[in-house]
Structures are given as C-alpha cells and as structure tokens.
Structure 1
Amino acid sequence: MSKLQKRVVRSDLWIAPAFDERLASERDIALGIFPVRGNSAAAWDMLSAAHVYHISAAKDELPQEFFARAELLARCPDLLCVSAGGAGYDTVDVDACTKAGVLVVNQAGGNAISVAEHTLAMVLGVSRRMIEGDRRMRSEIGYSREDVMGHEICGKTIGLVGIGHIGSRVAGLARAFGLEVIATDPFLSHEEITRRGAQPVSFDELLARSDFVSLHCPRDASTMKLMNADTFGRMKKGSIFITTARGGIHDEAALVQALRSGHLAGAGVDVWDQEPPPLDHPLLGMDTVFATYHVAGVTHESRGNVAAISAQQIVDLLAGQRPPRLINPEALPAYEKRRAQILG
C-alpha cells in the first residue's frame, strides 16, 4: 500500500461485500486484509502501518493477539481509529485506546431491526413453548397438544433493561403484540424513555413487574453479572428471561438454577460466556430454553447495513469529520493532534 494513502486494515474474517466496495471507491484509501491464522508476520506488517483498524467484535472468533489492546496499539504508531464491526466492542480496550489518542467507533443501530425481531421471536417461542413442541413432534407419538400448551403474550408486561437503538424497536414491536412496555436506562431521562415508547421504572420495579425481562444494555464494568442469583430471584415467579445483549451480563450458572428451581418458566438466550457454548452446557439440555448462537443481529440485511455504515463512517472520519458513533469522545483532543501529525 502506498504511504501517501490512508490505510484501512481488517482481518479476513467474513464481512459483507459492501464494506470493501465502499472503500474501493475512494482513491485515497487503501484497504489491507490480513490473515488471522497462518501468517502472523503479514498481519503485523499491515497492522503496524494502519491508520484505521476495522476489528471484528466476535471475541471468540478473532485471535486475542489481534484484540485492540495496549500491546497492539504500541505496535501501530499511526493508528488513529479502531472501528468495531458491530454494536459491541468486546475485542477493544477502550481505556487503552483513549490513553493512546485513538478513537473507538462502533456501528450501533446497524442491526437494530434484526435483533429486535429476534427478541420478539424468543418471547413468542418460549411463551408458546414452540421449541418444546418442535422437539416432541420429532421424537414422540401420542402426546396431547395440551402437554405443550403455552401462554399468549398479549396483555403481559415486558421489561427492557436498556432502551437504545434496539430496545426502542423492541418496544414498538412489543406494543404491536399488545404488551405493556416498561424500561430502565441509566443514560436516559424519564421523558426520553417515555418518548421511546416505554413507561420508565426503576430496575427493582422492572424485575418485580415484568413477565418478560429482556436485556438491551452494553457489556461494561457496570453491567457484568447484572443478572445473578439475587436479581433472577427478584424476578416474578413464572416469568421469562431473554437476552440478545452480550455474554457475561447474565450469570449462566445462576440462570440454570433459576430455571431448575421452577422460579423462572423459561429463557431465550442468544449470547454466551463462550461462543458457541459447549454441547454439554446445562442450558442446552433444557426444553424451556430457546438457545441461539449470537445470531440475533446476523441477517443478510443487517450484515449488509453494518458493513455499509462501517465503511462510510471510516471514509468520513478520514476526511476529517467527527464520527457519529464515537465511543470515547474524551480521546478527541489527543486524536486531533495525532491526526495532524500523521495525515497532515
């Protein structure tokens, strides 16, 4: 890649073609694609010269040597921005980037429709016992339909922990199904939560009132193990837990116990501590659990949209604009000085 060009680097993990196509249309941007396995030297040759590193957000797919941590930053002196390829940024040490004057951006909202639809599918699937019915149809003859009788969701209450891009869309879909929507979000005023389609409540009230508790919050120090033995115990007996957020926000062992005890009626789990979870994971052996492999945001439409907005944000950033999905605005002063030195 020419030294005169702005250099964007990504790994060879799958990404929708829209990303490469958009960057290819910019004459002053060169894209490098490094192999995540088999040729570490070639990978570091590209990374060490990068201005933007578009990083996979899949923590169990990207080798840890390519996580955006202090060690990587030290080897990439011209790096100006780490662009996470999704709403999450589990593979990025934001504090280390901020200290280095490196911006971190994500693609929040790019897959909101897909994740919201998946959330409602889980609400319906668990409440109506669809997974149980499907499994029994494939293995049994002679059982009664009433043996897998579920519940309507109309008239029930769904509690959203977080009402950002995804939570807002879940609220809209939930109201269409006749659900009462309540929400808690420490980053939003009560007026804004109301504007987004939910009744604002405290976290404690949400746990006590909800027939469905659905997580739509980021994974950070304040939310790790937010759902644990205590908080699962404070959920309404017979309620259902749904998460399409991030692994680690719920305690998997505590969820197993809440289900085994009968306190919770079921769960829809798309995100895991280890992805995919081992085949002998106790949650996978429960008929009351609708289990998926971090695919809520993985549709043709959402992957194409995330790739397109990722590329456009990078193009605009390299043209000198402030990125709209900036995670660490406190890094801007140091970034501006470094950008002037590196790009002129």
Structure 2
Amino acid sequence: MNAPTALAQRLRVARLDLWIDPAFDDAIGQDASLDLQVLPANGDAVTAAGLAGAHAYHVSAAKDEVPARWQVSADLLAQCPQLLCVSSGGAGYDTVDVAACTRAGVAVVNQAGANAASVAEMTFALLLSLVKRLGESDAALRAGTAVSREALMGHEIEGRVFGIVGIGEIGRRAARIAAGFGLRVIAYDPLVPPAQIVERGAEPVSFDTLLEQADIVSLHCPLDAVTRGMFDASAFQRMKRGALFISTARGGIHDEDALLAALESGHLAGAGLDVWKVEPPPPRSGLLQRPDVIAAYHTGGVTHEGRRKVARGSATQIMDMLAGRQPARLLNPEVWPRFLQRLAECGVNPQQG
C-alpha cells in the first residue's frame, strides 16, 4: 500500500448481504471517515473485488451461512492486501482463521458477551422443555392423542447437579440462573483459574469429575482444536446414567452419532441441542426422531436484543480499530503494533484517533 500523508479517501468497510440488525449499517453510516459496501454473498467478481479493496470486513460467525470462498482463510487474505481488520459477528469465529490473520497483520475481533444473556436463557429453555416434556405434550394435544396428564409426567430440576463446560460470558450467566433454580453448580474450564470459577458461581472440578457428578452437562466452550470432538462415545459413557446433555456451544464439540447411541442405549435420559455439525441438520437425523431430544436451529443467540447488541458491538469495534483505538474484544493482541503500522500507511494517525 502507498503511505499518504493524509487520508485521501474514506476507509472501506465490507460485509455480505446476509441479514444483520440495522444498527450495524446505521453506526458505520454515521462515521464520515468510513464507506460501507454491502456485497452479494452469492456473488463472484463483484464480491471478490469489493473484498480486495476493503480495509475492514464484518463476517457472520456461522460457517454454514457464509460461502467457503468468503470465509477468512489464508487464501482470501492473499487476495485482500488492503484488509486491516476482521470482525466476527458472534462470540464464535468459526469463519475466521485467526492465525492466518495474525501472519497477515490483520486484527480480529469477536463479540463475546453481546448475546450471552440470550444464549444462557436458551440453555434453560432447552433444559426445561426436556424435563417437562413440553414437545411431547404439545404434539399430543395438537394430534388429539393426549390420554392423561400422568402419561406426560415430567421431572423437577431443583437439587440436581448442573455441570458447566466453559464458564466464560455465557457460562457465568448460566451458573447464576442455575443457582436460582436450586441447582448445585460445578464447572470445568482449563482457561479460568479456580478462584475465578468460584467468583463466577461454580465449584471448580476436573473434566472427569464433572462427567461423574453432573446430572445435567451444559456446554459453553468455543469450538477449537482442543474441544473439537471432546464429547465422544467415551465421554458420554463416563457421564452419569440418566444424565441430560445440553449444548448451546458449537456443533462439532460433541459427536452426534455417539450421542445418539448413548440415548438409544438408555445411558443418557435426554438431550437439548441448539447446535449441529451441519446447520440445519438433515430432517431424517436420528436425533430429530427422538422424543427425548429437544432441538433448535442455532437460535440461542438469535434474539432481537442479542442481534442488536452484536451489530452495535461489531460496528463499534470496527470504528475503534480504524481510528487506531484498541478494541475491547481483540482476539490476536500480538498483531496490534503491526496493525497500527499498516493503519498509518493508510494515512490514519492513531494518536489522533
């Protein structure tokens, strides 16, 4: 890139034409130093050219929403020499290769915490639907096959052990809600010191202990090289017989075939799933055929409030970065000095940002 002494043109912010709360476009549009470009997700030359000239790229965090060629890979970065920063539209960043961005001098942010309340609430929507057998009751009433209330008898959760895997922004909210239901809360998170786990409302335990003790196992960890396939056949068999499995995290952390086998054998009593390996899952998926599975289409964080917070957070962090201010949710802080150098080459003086 050339290194002008003054900002000769507005910096370009690009996003695909996938749905986003209007708060994002409104915020970017109010910044006179920025130019927003909305590119077709199903486009080719137009989208490639738009991204090649972009300084910032906002991308959905859902891998099944974003065509592979527009996900932030090393190949895409090679075609986008002016790209300075990337914003993932969620707490996850499955569509962004953060290591490749770091090598390219590209700063990456996510929106961790923006939709945490929505996802934590979904955790208990799934759990309560499961133990109260709401899906079965609804189906029986609509079909006219309901015989007696006792035939649809459910359970209470008070007094059970609620095991959290990953006690970050969402996990800590889940812990607080669980305490309100009278659950004993335990948590496993190798990235959070035991004292902080206690501060977040849970008793710190090892992964094996959590599997052995929890009546309900709830996933709130990111999908990465460590957690991918974490819940396999062995993990499900180590869970308590009759336990429930809940995930509002990411598909791929649990093995769907192994979960199905654990349910079919009667080892587990049920599952509540908001995330899938392929989204949406095939209608004939074995898990979707079972009355002891409550299913949702990765809508835990898809609330009006959650999406608005994510959109505002994304816009704010992009505006911060392009003004030379370090953002709140920088995933690769080691890149920041190089990012500032590249930003200065575009004519932005961070000291004035």
After superposition, where does 1:224-239 map in structure 2 within 5 Å? Answer: 224-239=228-243
After superposition, where does 1:48-59 map in structure 2 within 5 Å? Answer: 48-59=52-63
Q: Deviations over 1:147-189 (max 9, x none)?
A: 2211101111110001111001111111111111111111111
Stretch deviating more after TM superposition (186-195 or 128-137): 128-137
1:165 to 169, 172, 194: 169
Counterpart position of 2:39: 34
Q: Residue 56 of structure 1: CA displacement?
A: 1.1
2:329 to 294, 305, 325: 325
DSSP 3-state at the match of 2:83: coil
DSSP 3-state at the match of 1:8: strand
Matched, 1:283 2:287: yes
Counterpart position of 1:201: 205
CA contact (8 A) 2:140 2:146 kept: no
DSSP 3-state at the match of 1:326: coil
DSSP 3-state at the match of 2:229: coil
CA distance in 2, matches of 1:70, 1:77: 11
Equivalenced residue count is 342
Q: Deviations over 1:66-114 (max 9, x none)?
A: 0100111011111111100111111111111111111111000000010
Write the letter of the residue equivalent to 2:159: G
Q: Residue 137 of structure 1: CA displacement?
A: 2.0
After superposition, where does 1:91-102 map in structure 2 within 5 Å? Answer: 91-102=95-106
DSSP 3-state at the match of 2:342: helix
Quick one: structure 1 residues 190 and 142, their matched pair in 2 at CA, closer, same or farther if it must change by over 3 Å? closer
2:312 to 303, 308, 333: 308
1:334 to 330, 333, 338: 338
After superposition, where does 1:130-279 map in structure 2 within 5 Å? Answer: 130-141=134-145, 143-279=147-283
Q: Residue 301 of structure 1: CA displacement?
A: 0.6
Matched, 1:296 2:300: yes
Stretch deviating more after TM superposition (276-285 or 121-130): 121-130
CA distance in 2, matches of 1:8, 1:31: 5
Q: Residue 142 of structure 1: CA displacement?
A: 5.2
- Superposed CA RMSD in Å reads 1.2
CA distance in 1, matches of 2:159, 2:60: 40
Write the letter of the residue equivalent to 2:152: V
Q: Deviations over 1:274-320 (max 9, x none)?
A: 00001111000000000000000001110111101111111111111
1:7 to 12, 27, 46: 12
CA distance in 2, matches of 1:333, 1:21: 30
CA distance in 2, matches of 1:85, 1:271: 17
Stretch deviating more after TM superposition (14-23 or 308-317): 308-317
Structure 1 moving runs of 4+ over 4 Å:
none
Paired-residue identity, %: 55
DSSP 3-state at the match of 1:160: strand
DSSP 3-state at the match of 2:218: strand
CA distance in 1, matches of 2:174, 2:145: 37
CA distance in 2, matches of 1:148, 1:230: 31
Stretch deviating more after TM superposition (146-155 or 277-286): 146-155
Question: Could you tell me the TM-score, scaled by structure 1's length?
Answer: 0.97
Q: Residue 6 of structure 1: CA displacement?
A: 1.3
Q: Residue 141 of structure 1: CA displacement?
A: 3.0
Matched, 1:86 2:122: no
DSSP 3-state at the match of 2:346: helix
CA contact (8 A) 2:109 2:327 kept: yes
CA distance in 1, matches of 2:133, 2:292: 7
Counterpart position of 2:351: none
Q: Residue 190 of structure 1: CA displacement?
A: 0.7
CA distance in 2, matches of 1:226, 1:137: 38
Write the letter of the residue equivalent to 1:117: E
Write the letter of the residue equivalent to 2:302: V
Q: Deviations over 1:258-282 (max 9, x none)?
A: 0000000000000001000011110
Stretch deviating more after TM superposition (56-65 or 292-301): 56-65
